[in-house]
């Protein structure tokens, strides 16, 4: 893959930070966004990427981020829609307002930011969009109405964008990780070496991007070899 200009949301920790590290190490220009200034500063100091404090659920923040990418890098070649979080609750006791708030990040924020980046990619007739969904968007589970629903939406949106953007030389890939050893959902201390790590998902994304431009992986799920166990 030649030198590319990356914009990675949710880049202050987990999969986003691991991807920023791998992309920067490979010589790519990288801008990461996130809401936590301390974590962003840490990623920037470790990797040399440019970090912007921004909330993908904010249209004003998204406009500012895209303008920053244009000013700093001249555009965006690779958009990684990674920002997201989980709200869980059983039907019958669901906090629908909390579900709506989560959709603002996981779904509407993803659409809003991509809506601003795609015209740049169409102009250059080239680009990659990677939407990070989840295996939760491939199967239902108890308490997962909100989160799984948002990730099912991301998968469907990805398929629509593939139909729209392939004629413009823009590839759209949807990545569905299984459980990854990050602090996602506030769960820490998961240290089983047989399970997925953030760098595994980052490496998978880089592998997809490294495929020849004539090749599109529309969707791929990534599982650990062994069933999940907490330490």
Residues tagged active-site: 147
DSSP 144: B
Tokens describing residue 4: 């590319």
Closest of 149, 161, 152 to residue 113, by C-alpha: 161
Distance between CA 109 and CA 190 in Å, rounded? Answer: 29
Distance between CA 40 and CA 8 in Å, rounded? Answer: 12
Beta strands in the chain (DSSP E): 5-8, 29-34, 50-53, 78-81, 127-132, 170-177, 219-222
């Amino acid at each position: 893959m030649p030198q590319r200009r990356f914009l990675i949301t949710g880049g202050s920790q987990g999969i986003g930070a691991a991807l920023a590290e791998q992309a920067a190490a490979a010589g790519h220009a990288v801008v990461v966004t996130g809401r936590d200034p301390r974590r962003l500063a840490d990623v920037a100091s470790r990797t040399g990427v440019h970090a912007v404090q921004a909330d993908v659920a904010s249209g004003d923040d998204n406009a500012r981020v895209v303008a920053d990418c244009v000013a700093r890098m001249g555009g965006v070649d690779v958009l990684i829609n990674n920002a997201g979080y989980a709200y869980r609750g059983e039907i019958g006791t669901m906090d629908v307002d909390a579900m709506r708030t989560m959709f603002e990040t996981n779904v509407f924020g993803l659409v809003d930011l991509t809506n601003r980046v795609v015209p740049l990619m169409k102009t250059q007739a080239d680009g990659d969009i990677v939407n990070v969904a989840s295996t939760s968007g491939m199967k239902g589970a108890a308490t997962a109405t909100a989160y799984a629903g948002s990730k099912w939406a991301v998968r469907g949106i990805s398929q629509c964008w593939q139909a729209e953007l392939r004629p413009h030389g823009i590839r759209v890939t949807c990545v569905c990780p299984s459980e990854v050893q990050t602090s996602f959902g506030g769960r820490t201390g998961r240290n089983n070496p047989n399970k997925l790590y953030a760098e595994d998902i980052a490496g998978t994304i880089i592998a997809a991007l490294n495929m020849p431009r004539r090749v599109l992986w529309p969707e791929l799920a990534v599982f650990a070899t062994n069933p999940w166990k907490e330490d």
